[in-house]
Structure 1
Amino acid sequence: MATDERQEALERHGLAEEQDGFVLYLRGYQAGMRTARALRDRGNEEAIQMLALDASDPLRWEYASAIQIEAFSTEIHRSGI
């Protein structure tokens, strides 16, 4: 995957890559929470616990970030990198 394609994939997942790791943008948080709700609806215990937390709890952002990083990584691997 070319650098431009990688950057586009990061943006699709609401992520940026910095020296210290990934940063999750609001768009990525929202996408992660949609995925978390779908997981909760399928009975995923971790998603159930995370969505039960207050919306201001930083663990929700961390969970959404993990979801989006995993989705980004899956896309990168499928693209042949």
Structure 2
Amino acid sequence: MELSRPAPHRRRLLPVLAIALAAALAPAVARAQVPPHTPGTICFTATFWCWALYPGYPGTPCECPTYYGWVPGILG
């Protein structure tokens, strides 16, 4: 008794479906958890956020202090 094999196109379909499902379930943008805040009081950099030294309008350039100097960001 010989077991039948799935057709070649079916073997290729499973990985494609798995990748599509993973992409659909993945978040669009990974962002750090940010506490509730008034708009314009948090400065977002490319990799982290900090409380703005001087609050302003969202979208205004800002900077966060680090041990290596100031990192530019955008108020949000």
TM range (shorter): under 0.3
Tell me the TM-score normalized by structure 1: 0.25
Structure with the larger helix share: 1
Work out which of the two has the higher radius of gyration on C-alpha atoms and give 1 or 2.
2
Q: Which has the higher contact order (CA 8 A, sep 6+)?
A: 1
Tell me the TM-score normalized by structure 2: 0.26
Structure with the larger strand share: 2
